[in-house]
Structure 1
Amino acid sequence: MRKSINAEQVLTSRRNVLRGTALAGAAALTGGVAQASLLPRHAPAVSAGTRRPPIIKVEAGPDAMADAAPADLSGLERVRQELVDPPFAPEHEQVASGPPKIVEIEMVTHERLMTVDEDTGASIWALTYNGSVPGPLIIVHQDDYVELTLRNPVESAMEHNIDFHASTGALGGGALTHIYPGEETVLRWKATKAGCFTYHCAPGGAMIPYHVCHGMNGAIMVLPRDGLKDAEGNPLRYDSIAYLGEQDYYLPRDGNGDFRFYDTAGDDYADSLEAMATLVPTHQVFNGAVGALTGANALKARVGETVLMVHNSCNVDSRPHLIGGHGNYVWETSFTDPPLTGVETWFVRGGCAAAAMYTFEQPGVYAYVNHNLIIAALKGATAHFVVEGPWNNDLMEQVVAPRSFQG
């Protein structure tokens, strides 16, 4: 006779499986130096016979933090930022009003089946923050505190966490945010550096690139409190933000060369590691899928509108280029340094986010591409801006329409 199993038993069993599989191979990245576990402090005990994850050295992990005096933030204003889906940005001030604040945000990890390319039927069980690839753009000001509530639904198949490249300490928050299905955690950190930064999931070992290459990354923009400025200190303002995430996928194929389909998240783990080891993406796209920002999904602007293009590339180098336009001001690394000006193609390092500002001067369709044009044309890294407004013949004019000629 089958015994009945309650939800808590299912959850405990799933956690035990995760401990034995999700973090396997982490020693390759950590060297296996023992000090603090990758597991949360209060994670349930591992069942007999289950492999424990490798452990790593953390100078000031949760146990050390328990002895530290809590920061006195009682006088700071708390504000809640409602995150929105890419390519859009949350409501925010370009110049901070008042002293630093505690900015509260919430993110939920979702494991969802996504179509990568409708023409070929390629799909992936995407691992996401708030259901989107990339994860939502977060915007705060320098010296604000980011207070994140991170939740992992009970129906998830995997452990998740988050590493903020903008933060200081404890593996970017990664050591303090490991949550299993059915768990939540709250992390607070101070945004001391101004610029655009990547965040991503980093459970440990081979699971780090596996999660990143399944879409679990995004960007946070930390604005200077007095806003963006040019090299002379003059204020720079934008009318809108276009948030683009460049995602490399490594989708397994069957013996006929067709893309494989998997029933649930995590089923592709072994096949994906084999595909990822080639270092050759099957797709390299903006915002999760081929055509996510073209056609009916194209970005919109008007002549005279200044757009700040925030480009996140968690795993691969990129060379953004706006065909027919430029980077009037480009911050490749930090808002602390003066921006580059008049740039034709800028550079986004793998593991970085960057910002470029442009004021559109002509109507038409502008292609925003990775100017490795093989990646743009064959792998999918192309987005479109559809710009409306009057044409300026002084900037460009067709003097003679195409016609035949006698050679």
Structure 2
Amino acid sequence: MNKAVQGAIGIGLLCMSAAPAMAAKDISKLPVVTQELVAPPFLPKHDQVAKGGPKVVKVRMVTEEKLVQIAPDGTKMWALTFNGTVPGPLIVVHQDDYVELTLVNPPTSTMSHNVDFHASTGALGAAGLTLVAPGEDVVVRFKATKPGVFVYHCAPGGTMIPFHVISGMNGAIMVLPRDGLKDHKGKSVRYDRAYYIGEQDLYLPKGPDGKYKSYSQPAEGMADMLEVAAKLIPTHVVFNGAVGALTGDNALKANVGEKVLFIHSQANRDSRPHLIGGHGDLVWQGGSFNDTPITNQETWFVPGGAAVAALYEFKQPGLYVYLSHNLNEAVLLGAAAHMNVEGKWDNDLMEQLKKPNEHSTPAMDH
């Protein structure tokens, strides 16, 4: 980011409180609910179709700077997080609900943090109203006017913006239509399960010995990390914070006949999700639920700084791989997840007619 852009963002953050304000609508009579956020890939409890009118949905996020392992070889990094996870938790509300966020930066932090909600309107996505130093907290409320899935991320200004984002400080919010999702024919569609997959590109510096460097606190490695990031070549591309985070015992699960909604975000780079052995029955391009979903996609596109939703009804049991179909990133850098599906096999859809090295029996002449 050049100095002019850094300066503009910095001035914007400083001047938000000086802007004249119109009186807010009286929402004091609206129902108030508290949403308990959960760690990805799971979603908080929610209704797919809204019950009643708009609500005030209270959520609480605590910033946490923590040393985490991001690869099986023991490689670690200082993660900057919301609620201790990479990505941060998925928030779920309905269109025209009000999101009331309490953002807490504990005194143990070493940096200031804030949050830019791509789903919100004004004040740099609330980044201009939420900047909190260690030991501070802030409360902000915004109206969720656009239905869809959207990224949120930390954006403290200047070079701190890319540093915080590539250190894991991002997540997503899903704003459902009040009457629920619709398919390409305008008919209501429901999901049996939903999973949130946050893709993260990492840029870890190496020392002269070829090993990844270690640091005593996040800021100590900032210059080295930004130097690597400036070359735009990630050292790791991972789902949900680490290589293999969604494999083995942590693999996603479903049953044959279930419709599964995948919410996929990438706060910094483009991505191309693909489900090996399945499809995107319905894909909401750009994450907008106002738009008609496209159908029967083999691979879908997530622009950097966005989230996209895709729904698939599983037809066959077995192991599926959900990955970025930049196969270099999936296989070599870590952008892959596993999904175990249980149920009865359908030979009409696929059948093995000859096993490897098995000689077929010649037909007899009559």
Matched to 2:109, the amino acid is: S
Q: 1:63 aligns with which of 18, 22, 37?
A: 18
Q: Deviations over 1:335-356 (max 9, x none)?
A: 0000010000000000000000
Moved more, 260-269 or 196-205: 260-269
On the 8 A contact 2:57/2:98 being kept in 1, the answer is: yes
Distance 1:57 1:364, change over 3 A: closer
Q: 1:289 aligns with which of 239, 242, 245?
A: 242
Q: Deviations over 1:18-70 (max 9, x none)?
A: xxxxxxx884424x35xxxx7xxxxxxxxxxxxxxx52388x822224x5323
Given the two structures, how large is their TM-score scaled by the length of structure 1? Answer: 0.86
Q: 1:217 aligns with which of 170, 187, 197?
A: 170
On the 8 A contact 2:13/2:128 being kept in 1, the answer is: no
Query: Per-residue deviation at 1:267?
Result: 1.3
Q: 1:298 aligns with which of 251, 257, 278?
A: 251
Q: 1:390 aligns with which of 323, 344, 359?
A: 344
Question: How far, CA to CA, are the matches of 1:226 and 1:80 in structure 2?
Answer: 21
Question: How far, CA to CA, are the matches of 2:352 and 2:358 in structure 1?
Answer: 16
On the 8 A contact 1:198/1:219 being kept in 2, the answer is: yes
On the 8 A contact 1:348/1:354 being kept in 2, the answer is: yes
Question: How far, CA to CA, are the matches of 1:336 and 1:111 in structure 2?
Answer: 36
What corresponds to 2:323 in structure 1?
369
What corresponds to 1:29 in structure 2?
5
**Share of identical aligned residues, percent?**
59
On the 8 A contact 1:199/1:219 being kept in 2, the answer is: yes
Q: Which runs of 5+ in 2 are unaligned?
A: 360-366
Matched to 2:348, the amino acid is: D
What corresponds to 1:251 in structure 2?
204
2:128 corresponds to 1:152? no
Corresponding residue pairs, total: 359
Q: 1:184 aligns with which of 137, 143, 147?
A: 137
Given the two structures, how large is their TM-score scaled by the length of structure 2? Answer: 0.95
- Provide the aligned C-alpha RMSD in A: 1.6
Query: Per-residue deviation at 1:222?
Result: 0.4
2:356 corresponds to 1:402? yes
What corresponds to 2:335 in structure 1?
381
Matched to 2:5, the amino acid is: L
Matches within 5 A, 1:114-133: 114-119=68-73, 121-133=74-86
Question: Per the alignment, in what secondary structure is the counterpart of residue 19 of structure 2?
Answer: helix
Distance 1:136 1:57, change over 3 A: closer
On the 8 A contact 1:332/1:353 being kept in 2, the answer is: no
2:205 corresponds to 1:205? no
Q: 2:293 aligns with which of 317, 339, 344?
A: 339
Query: Per-residue deviation at 1:404?
Result: 6.5
Query: Per-residue deviation at 1:299?
Result: 0.6
Question: How far, CA to CA, are the matches of 1:383 and 1:320 in structure 2?
Answer: 11
Matched to 1:355, the amino acid is: A
Question: How far, CA to CA, are the matches of 1:71 and 1:281 in structure 2?
Answer: 45
Q: 1:314 aligns with which of 255, 260, 267?
A: 267
Q: Deviations over 1:324-373 (max 9, x none)?
A: 00000001221000001000000000000000001111110000010010
What corresponds to 2:58 in structure 1?
104
Question: How far, CA to CA, are the matches of 1:287 and 1:382 in structure 2?
Answer: 10
